[in-house]
Amino acid sequence: MKKVECIIKPFKLDEVKEVLSDLGINGMTVSEVRGFGRQKGHAELYRGAEYQIDFIPKIKIELVIPAARVAEVVDAIRQEAATGTIGDGKIFVYEVEQAVRIRTGETGPEAL
């Protein structure tokens, strides 16, 4: 099993969720996060004063999937989340040793 974690622009969430749903991925965790990388942030005006916003709002999606599906899922996320501009985000893939469904006690891929 693999954990796929991606950081994307907030307005791309619905499109990414839809493409994952089309692939049969029906479970994910979504968090509102803030961060910066090469995008660095931006300046804003507030009551006539300019100030720097360092942390940009982003969305983090986490899902655990069978290892055999990683390539298709990562490719689908990359295609849907891409805008071609700086700050499109990142995708990370991690090894998952174990998964347990609390309600039934199922373990491994059956718990997904």
The predicted-structure confidence for 25-84, as pLDDT tens digits, reads as follows 989 999 999 887 776 666 666 677 766 777 888 999 999 999 999 999 999 999 999 999
> How many distinct structural domains can be found in the chain?
1
Structural domain that includes position 6: 2-111
Residue 4's nearest CA partner among 77, 93, 89, 76 is 93
Please report the beta strands in the chain, taking only residues with DSSP state E, as ranges in sequence order: 2-8, 29-35, 42-46, 49-53, 56-65, 89-95
* CATH number of the CATH domain containing 31: 3.30.70.120
The predicted-structure confidence for 87-107, as pLDDT tens digits, reads as follows 899 999 999 999 999 999 999
Q: Which residue has the higher pLDDT, 21 or 26?
A: 21
pLDDT at 12 over 90: yes
Helix (H), strand (E) at residue 76: helix 70-81
pLDDT at 2 over 80: yes
Residue 16's nearest CA partner among 103, 67, 78 is 78
